[in-house]
Amino acid sequence: MDVINNIEYKKRYSEIMSLYKNNATFNKDVRHTTKEVIINKFKGVKLIKNIEKIIDEAVLYLIEEFAFILSCPVAYNVDTVHYLYHRNWSVFENFIDGKYDLIKKPSFKFILTN
């Protein structure tokens, strides 16, 4: 799938970006998750200069990942998408459970692997 030019991906990206801009809880959770990833990546660094600017940019990658996952049922003609990950990803789990927009997403499953 040519993700960037895919109509479903663009639609989902727009929806997630709108949620990020308009839902304070989702915004906070996305930024927190992103900050954790950045801090873990740079362990041992006592001070990360411009952390908020870095988070602003890195958040876009998380939004792109959400948009890709949400576009999969249409792009790949499947009913259910199972997302496997090696650690908890509460922002995604909360998202598919409808915590942010009150819309449960039963077509998406999060599977924690060991």
pLDDT tens-digit map of 36-87: 988 888 776 656 677 888 899 999 999 999 999 999 999 899 999 999 988 8
- Distance in angstroms between the alpha carbons of the first and the last residue of the chain: 29
The CATH number of 7-112, from 3.30.470.30, 3.40.50.11710, 3.40.50.720, 3.40.1180.10, is 3.40.50.11710
> What's the whole-number average pLDDT of the chain?
91
User: Is pLDDT of 114 > 80?
Assistant: no
pTM of the entire predicted model: 0.88
The residues facing 112 across adjacent strands are 85
Q: Give 3's pLDDT tier (boundaries 50, 70, 90).
A: confident
